[in-house]
């Protein structure tokens, strides 16, 4: 049923229309002669308040508002992978073909190509029983991703017919006879409302780490598959590079990258770089397993509010196919600000710092859509969505509402620090402030993968770094020479940990990705240095000689040794550590 | 857009408050539509619709609401949003903040009428900026490299020489190996006559005046007019860059005044304020300005933006520099401490940053050792600065030899690398060689950020 109302008020991205009785909350509408896309966010009697996803300049009272009968939804199916969408899943490439280099208003383009034929291979046969979530066929979408076609969550019954061959996403590919005898036709294309989480059976414990190849994140502050992490960082602290490194190197099958209210050139960088970057595991371009959502800061603010929902719905759809998905949202502060802006236009009673009172619950709802789950279907699969949300605290002040409400929900905190960034310590993750609550649950995985000493080494290194910060306070007062020799060794080792282990060069071909075994071996080598040096001091060795050992250069350059040579080279380095310190 | 040209003139102003007025009984008025206003004395002003509800329109008046009354003030709705007529002839001309010529020359005959709000550039159409711009200033070229299509603001404090620096950059900026020069568009918001004269004299002295397009809103012009000025300048810049194929450098000063004007309107409308009373949509609004820099695939021209903003109380966490820093691709920060030492330009490299640097430097662009030299200088200078605090407590003698070398490096860095004269145009080679020269102060084993092969090449002896 289509309802038609009339605009009575316009203020920025928010309009009010009357004659809207019969429409639903969150229903999508077309606003005005330009047919701008909007969503109903408040209903009162005959009037509806609508947030409009496009610029509203030039719209007049009296123009028509048409309801569409459905909530704001995304289209899901083959053709998503490798695309770049705006906040409401309109493909930017196609918008460009239609309206040129600048984005025009009221453009209607399909999210997924309805003409393109995909080769559908069935994996069930006629007579098989299926329920919602079951995989009935596969499409090889890109070199990296086999797109599994699943039965929509609401459908179950017996397969009456199924096709094999080339079809478009809107062709019927199967017929399912439900229990009451009706025939449901199934297409590859599914439509799902963005504000509704897709169903799953149960949540599983997060006991497998999401390996990122970044030493600070993996060894010290690891995030689990299905976990949530927050990266708050003042501007210039390297937040975006950190996010992009995760998108490039995390061992997820699918990456959904949401550029929410960020810079246009940054999205361009991702677009120009990702197609040429190869996945370290498969050798396929990273773009083949990536979906980008770009709603830059100068694109309409309401679409910014919607873009995180669009992203997480796409992520859930791939999770339901049995994949591990990593979702990066950069930055959730811009999303929260979009909420604040809309709330202000609605003249709602503001909460802290003008943010709406429902900020905390919206953030929690979003992060709770992450998790490692058993998918629905006859044979449940383990699959996950890990969410990494960047937060941009105004003035670097972590006590502001968005950061605080985010930290209440997320389990990992990567505290980026501007003063580290000033010293060009990258990634500028502050090792004393950051934490991960997953360390205990993922410990077994690490110890099975890199050796039983993993947890002990990690903890020892953390203690050394903690000691260093205490010693630094004394050094500030009395100078380093006043410390006993053994504490000076601690300072030397901690410095190695900082400079040679925690610092990682994202722009170096080798150092940009550090596999778990190499990480563990690098840490072992530094700790070996510490042990041998402490022994040398204990037997009366000269601290000055220790300071100028050539082996320290070898340790500093460990990170640049290519992975395939690393195992042999690190043995030599360890031998040299023992030999050179033995001579002190 | 409504194209009927029936005159819609009303005398039904019911309220005048601050920069706003309310007109009732209007029909068919569009959001953001431009309005012509005639005061009771017959003076012409312009305004823009901020909100429409049924037959009520809220209008912001650009030239101020003084002398308006609720009886005989005439308002005429023009049926179009704010536009500027652009033409190649605008080059070398001076306009006021609302785009009217004030240099005594003829009116511009527009080749095109463009909406001053522009449209967002499609991210897939953008070309990633990667052409090195040599500004001749070591702290920028060597350590915070500017590239063509970047937006790089100068964060300054009151009384610091940001104007000199901006003028020097406008004068010296060039792409090495290309003849094309930058076309400068200068947008001034709320600056004093003195500052305006400084820039005009500077452009005149260097013979650049016929290549500069100036939009001038001075301190004694109506504050609300400032809302339009940067948009006028950038719409013109987009026309020059993407239709005429020019490389445009847009200098906007002072963004702080622009934001104050935003706050004034917001307060007059009784909006829920955000941090320090600035409106909640200030981020979106500033993004609408800064994001209009860049390059487009397959197009010749480019827009490089250098906005200047004076940080209130030198506070970089103030909402204006803070939100700006989240949108722009880095910042050049001027420091009062360095200025007090008599150093020009007083750039503090530690909080300064260019996010697009890595794409614009290195082999084939500047020199292969560029990124290593920059990283090494950053970390050595940061360490030297930290040591200064320590020296204040324990004295220089208590430091190790290694630490003393870093201390010396920090001093030399400020005196030789940062310091240059107002017309000193250093090439990138000179800048990098200067860096190598200073590395001699440090122990060779401390040069960890530069690759060994470069150390061997540049420190032969």
Residues in chain B closer than 8 A to A96 (CB atoms): 122, 124-125
Residues comprising chain A, all counted: 584
Give the pLDDT means over successive 10-residue stretches in chain B (461 positions).
57 89 90 90 89 90 86 88 91 90 91 91 92 95 95 95 93 84 91 92 86 92 88 96 94 94 87 84 92 94 95 92 91 96 95 90 92 93 91 85 93 96 94 95 89 89 66
Q: Which of B2, B379, B398 sits opposite A424 (nearest CB)?
A: B379
Backbone conformation region of residue B39, classed left if phi is above 0, alpha if psi is from -120 to 50, else beta: beta
Secondary structure of B147-200 in HEC code, one letter for each residue: ECCCECCEEECCCCCHHHHHHHHHHHCECCCCCCCCEEEEEEEEECHHHHHHHH
> Which residues of chain A are within 8 Å of residue B30 when distances are taken between CB atoms?
57-60
In angstroms, what separates the C-alpha of A19 from chain B's closest C-alpha? 14
**Are A315 and A325 in contact, with CB atoms under 8 Å apart?**
yes
Q: Is A399 on the interface with B (CB under 8 A)?
A: no
Which structure tokens are listed for B334?
């001027």
CA A473 to the chain's CA centroid? 37
CA angle, A51 as apex, A48 and A52 as ends, to 5°?
120
Residue A516, min C-alpha distance to chain B (Å): 24
Distance between CA atoms of residues A580 and B245, nearest Å: 63
List chain A residues with pLDDT less than 70.
Answer: 1, 235-236, 280-281
| B379 interaction partners in chain A (CB closer than 8 Å) | 423-425
Whether the CB of B444 is below 8 Å from some CB of chain A: the reply is: no
Interface check for B242 against chain A (CB to CB < 8 A): the answer is yes
**In whole angstroms, how far apart are CA B78 and each of A10, B8, B20, B176, B282?**
18, 8, 18, 47, 27
Nearest-Cα residue of chain B relative to residue A331: B326
Rounded to the nearest 5°, which phi and psi values hold at B243? -110, -35
pLDDT for B5 equals: 45
Which A residues in the span 104-163 are in contact with B, Cβ-Cβ below 8 Å?
A: 104-105
A185 min Cα distance to partner chain B (Å): 36
SS3 letters for A433-452?
CCEECCHHHHHHHHHHHHCC
| Among the partner residues B30, B297, B299, nearest to A60 by beta-carbon distance | B30
Angle CA A64–A69–A72, to nearest 5: 95
Chain A contact set for B317 (CB, 8 A): 394-397
Give the C-alpha separation, A338 to A346, whole Å: 12
Supply the pLDDT for residue A16. 93
The whole-number pLDDT of residue A262 equals 83
Do the chains contact at B31 and A268, CB–CB below 8 Å?
A: no
**Residue A422 Cα, gap to closest chain B Cα (Å):** 5
Partner-chain contact A264 B399, CB within 8 Å: no
- For residue B273, the cross-strand partners are B279
Contact A269 B351 (CB under 8 A): no
Cβ–Cβ of B356/A265 closer than 8 Å?
A: yes
Chain B residues with CB inside 8 Å of A64's CB?
none
Three-state DSSP class for B429? helix
Contact of A544 with chain B, judged by CB distance below 8 Å, is answered with: no
Tell me which chain B residues have a C-beta less than 8 angstroms from the C-beta of A272: 128
Six token digits for residue B356: 């697009």
Predicted confidence at residue B139, as pLDDT, reads: 96
**pLDDT, position A449:** 94
Chain B closest-CA separation from residue A397 CA (Å): 9
Amino acid A404: pLDDT: 93
This model's pTM is above 0.80: yes
Q: How far apart are CA B184 and CA B203, in angstroms?
A: 10
How many angstroms separate the CA atoms of B366 and B370, rounded?
7
Establish if B313 touches chain A: CB-CB under 8 angstroms: no
Distance from CA of B120 to the nearest CA of A (A): 6
Q: Which residue of A has its CA nearest to B271?
A: A344
Separation of alpha carbons B339 and B334, rounded Å = 8
Query: What's the pLDDT at B4?
Result: 45
Rounded Cα gap, residues A464 and A486, in angstroms:
12
Nearest to B272 among A269, A294, A350 (CB): A350
Per DSSP, what are the bridge partners of residue B279?
Answer: B273
């Amino acid at each position: 049923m289509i309802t038609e109302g009339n605009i009575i008020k316009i203020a920025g991205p928010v309009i009010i229309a009357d004659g809207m009785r019969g429409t639903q909350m969150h229903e999508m509408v077309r606003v005005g002669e330009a047919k701008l896309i909007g969503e109903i966010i408040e209903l009162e009697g005959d009037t509806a308040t609508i947030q409009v996803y496009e610029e509203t300049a030039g719209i007049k009272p009296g123009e028509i508002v048409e309801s569409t009968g459905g909530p704001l939804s995304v289209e899901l199916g083959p053709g998503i992978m490798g695309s770049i969408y705006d906040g409401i899943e309109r493909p930017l490439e196609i918008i460009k073909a239609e309206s040129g280099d600048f984005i025009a208003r009221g453009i209607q383009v399909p999210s997924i190509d309805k003409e393109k034929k995909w080769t559908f291979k069935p994996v069930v046969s006629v007579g098989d029983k299926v329920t919602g979530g079951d995989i009935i066929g596969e499409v090889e979408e890109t070199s990296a991703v086999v797109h599994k076609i699943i039965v929509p969550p609401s459908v179950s019954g017996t397969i009456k017919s199924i096709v094999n061959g080339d079809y478009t996403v809107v062709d019927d590919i199967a017929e399912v006879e439900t229990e009451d005898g009706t025939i449901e036709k199934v297409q590859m294309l599914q439509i799902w409302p963005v504000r509704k989480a897709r169903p799953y059976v149960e949540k599983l414990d997060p006991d497998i780490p999401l390996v990122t190849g970044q030493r600070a994140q993996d060894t010290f502050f690891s995030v689990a598959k299905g976990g949530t992490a927050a990266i708050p960082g003042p501007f210039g602290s390297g937040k975006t590079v950190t996010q992009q490194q995760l998108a490039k190197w995390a061992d997820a099958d699918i990456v959904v990258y949401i550029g929410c209210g960020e810079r246009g050139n940054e999205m361009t960088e991702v677009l120009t770089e990702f197609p040429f970057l190869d996945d370290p595991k498969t050798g396929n371009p990273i773009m083949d397993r990536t979906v980008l959502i770009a709603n830059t800061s100068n694109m309409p603010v309401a679409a910014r509010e919607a873009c995180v929902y669009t992203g997480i719905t796409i992520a859930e759809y791939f999770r339901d196919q049995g994949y591990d998905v990593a979702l990066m949202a950069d930055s959730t502060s811009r999303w929260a600000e979009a909420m604040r802006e809309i709330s202000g236009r609605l003249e709602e009673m503001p909460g802290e710092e003008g943010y709406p009172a429902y900020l905390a619950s919206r953030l929690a709802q979003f992060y709770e859509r992450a998790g490692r789950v058993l998918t629905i279907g006859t044979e449940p699969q383990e699959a996950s969505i890990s969410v990494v949300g960047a937060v941009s605290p105004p003035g670097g002040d972590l006590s502001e509402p968005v950061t605080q409400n985010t930290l209440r929900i997320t389990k990992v905190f990567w505290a980026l620090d501007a003063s580290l960034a000033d010293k060009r310590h990258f990634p500028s993750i502050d090792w004393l402030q950051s934490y991960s609550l997953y360390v205990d649950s993922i410990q077994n995985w690490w110890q099975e993968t890199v050796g039983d000493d993993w947890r002990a080494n990690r903890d020892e290194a953390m203690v050394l770094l903690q000691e260093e910060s205490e010693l630094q306070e004394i050094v500030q007062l009395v100078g380093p020479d006043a410390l006993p020799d053994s504490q000076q060794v601690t300072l030397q080792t901690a410095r190695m940990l900082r400079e040679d282990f925690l610092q990682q060069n994202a722009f170096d071909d080798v150092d940009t990705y550090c596999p778990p075994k190499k990480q563990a071996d690098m840490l072992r080598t530094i700790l070996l240095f510490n042990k041998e040096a402490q022994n040398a001091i204990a037997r009366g060795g000269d601290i000055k000689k220790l300071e100028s050992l050539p082996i320290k250069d070898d340790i500093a350059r460990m990170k640049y040794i290519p992975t395939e040579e690393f195992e042999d080279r690190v043995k030599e380095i360890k031998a040299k550590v023992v030999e050179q310190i033995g001579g002190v | 857009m409504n194209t009927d040209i029936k005159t819609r003139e009303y005398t039904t102003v019911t309220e005048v408050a601050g920069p706003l007025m309310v007109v009732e009984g209007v029909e068919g008025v569009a959001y953001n539509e431009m309005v012509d206003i005639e005061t009771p004395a017959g003076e012409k002003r312009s305004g823009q619709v901020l909100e429409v509800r049924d037959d009520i329109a809220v209008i912001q008046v650009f030239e101020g609401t003084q002398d308006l009354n609720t009886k005989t003030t005439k308002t005429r709705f023009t049926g179009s949003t704010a536009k500027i007529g652009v033409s190649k002839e605008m080059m070398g001309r001076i306009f006021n903040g609302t785009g009217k010529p004030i240099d005594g020359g003829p009116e511009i005959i527009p080749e095109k009428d463009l909406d001053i709000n522009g449209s967002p550039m499609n991210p897939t159409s953008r070309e990633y900026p990667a052409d090195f711009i040599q500004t001749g200033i070591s702290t920028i070229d060597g350590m915070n490299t500017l590239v063509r299509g970047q937006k790089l603001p100068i964060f300054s404090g009151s009384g610091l020489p940001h104007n000199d620096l901006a003028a020097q950059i406008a004068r010296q900026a060039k792409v090495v190996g290309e003849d094309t020069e930058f076309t400068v568009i200068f947008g001034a918001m709320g600056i004093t006559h003195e500052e305006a004269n400084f820039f005009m004299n500077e452009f005149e002295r260097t013979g650049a005046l016929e290549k500069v397009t100036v939009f001038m809103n001075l301190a004694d012009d109506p504050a609300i007019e400032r809302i339009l000025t940067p948009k006028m300048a950038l719409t013109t810049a987009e026309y020059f860059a993407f239709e005429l194929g020019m490389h445009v450098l847009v200098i906007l000063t002072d963004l702080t005044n622009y934001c104050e004007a935003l706050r004034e309107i917001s307060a007059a409308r009784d909006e829920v304020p955000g941090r320090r009373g600035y409106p909640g949509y200030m981020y979106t609004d500033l993004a609408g300005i800064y994001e209009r820099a860049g390059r487009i695939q397959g197009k010749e021209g480019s827009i490089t933006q250098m906005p200047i903003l004076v940080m209130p109380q030198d506070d970089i966490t103030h909402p204006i520099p803070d939100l700006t820093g989240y949108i722009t691709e880095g910042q050049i920060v001027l420091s009062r401490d360095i200025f007090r030492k008599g150093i020009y330009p007083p750039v503090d490299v530690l909080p300064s940053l260019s996010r697009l640097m890595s794409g614009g430097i290195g082999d084939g662009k500047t020199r292969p050792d560029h990124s290593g030299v920059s990283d090494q200088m950053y970390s050595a200078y940061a360490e030297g600065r930290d040591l200064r605090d320590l020296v204040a407590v324990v004295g220089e003698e208590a430091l190790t030899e290694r630490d003393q070398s870093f201390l010396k490096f920090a001093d030399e860095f400020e005196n030789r690398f940062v310091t240059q004269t107002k017309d000193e145009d250093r090439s990138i080679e000179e800048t990098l060689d200067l860096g190598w020269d200073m590395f001699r102060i440090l122990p060779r084993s401390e040069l960890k950020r530069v690759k060994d092969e470069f150390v061997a090449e540049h420190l032969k002896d």
